[in-house]
Amino acid sequence: MIKLASFDVWGTILDLDLMLTSFINSLSELIGEDVSADVIRVRKRVKELRRKFEIKPGGDFELSQELLAEKLNTEIDLIKRAAAKATLKIDESIIMEGVDQVLKFIKENGLKLIIIGNVMFWPSSYTRLILERFELARYFDRQYYSDEVEAYKPMKEIFLRPLSEFRVSPGEAVHVGDSFSEDFQGALDAGLHAVLISRRGRPKIHHRKGLIIENIQELITLLKRGF
């Protein structure tokens, strides 16, 4: 029986594309030129390094800012300013469709609810502010971020540490996210059930503890049915 559900944040609960666009626009304004291509390249590089476990635990956030500043030949302080500006500009459209309904259902059914999130370009404190601002933080018992817990997805530690704190076994937990390697495979490798949100169609994946959905609302049906 599932006792705990963990969620990725960006791309799952909050719209990553909107936040990245806001960040890119803010940084482009500060630097005076379009930086979109460089931001995307650095993002891909950091994700690849995480996938290969080539970043020190908890170091993915700082590395992302350092690599971007180096790529743009600018000061890290400008990266930090752009992140702050981007956070101030966003509105309620940052919330992914169906999120409030799903989180409310989970809480009403007595499951523990947590966030397990990686961090890149902007610190987890900004993500926490956004969740508070739009009244989503109230659903979660705790939030765990890679720049705070010295581990990042897909490392097993970032999945297992929260379970230990809640005294829940991996088989009693499900992780939901939109990244195949970081969320889906990472959770499965740690022994959890995993749900991948694949909005571009269902890839052919067969795993006894892994399920694919096309939108977050389908999670309600899965939880009613049981894993």
CATH of the domain at 140: 3.40.50.1000
| Dist CA 161 CA 120 (whole Å) | 21
Sign of dihedral through CA atoms 126, 194, 227, 165? negative
| Cβ-contact 223, 113 below 8 angstroms | no
Q: Flag whether pLDDT at 77 surpasses 80.
A: yes
Taking the model in full, what pTM does it have? 0.93
The domain boundary, picked from 64, 89, 114, lies at 89
Under the banding of pLDDT at 50, 70 and 90, the label for residue 225 is: confident
Range(s) of the domain holding residue 205: 4-15+93-225
Residues 10 and 63 in one domain: no
What tens digit of pLDDT does each residue of 119-155 get?
A: 999 999 999 999 999 999 999 999 999 999 999 999 9
> Tokens 């960040």 label which residue?
23
Q: Flag whether pLDDT at 226 surpasses 80.
A: no
Burial class (CB in 10 A: 0-12, 13-18, 19+), 4: buried
Give percent of the chain above pLDDT 70: 96
Q: Flag whether pLDDT at 107 surpasses 90.
A: yes
What tens digit of pLDDT does each residue of 80-93 get?
A: 999 999 999 999 99
| Cα-to-chain-centroid distance, residue 175 | 11
Residues 103 and 215 in one domain: yes
Q: Flag whether pLDDT at 7 surpasses 90.
A: yes
What does the pLDDT average to over 48-74?
A: 97
Number of compact structural domains in the chain: 2
Residues 66 and 123 in one domain: no
Residue 17 dihedral angles phi and psi, to the nearest 5°: -60, -40
What is the model's pLDDT at position 223? 87
CATH number of the domain encompassing residue 80? 1.10.150.400
Where would I find the beta strands (DSSP E) of the chain? 4-7, 112-117, 142-145, 173-177, 193-197, 210-213
Residue 199 dihedral angles phi and psi, to the nearest 5°: -75, -10
Residues 203 and 110 in one domain: yes
Under the banding of pLDDT at 50, 70 and 90, the label for residue 203 is: low
The one-letter amino acid code at 63 reads L
pLDDT: which is higher, 100 or 201 = 100
What is the model's pLDDT at position 81? 98
The domain boundary, picked from 55, 89, 123, lies at 89
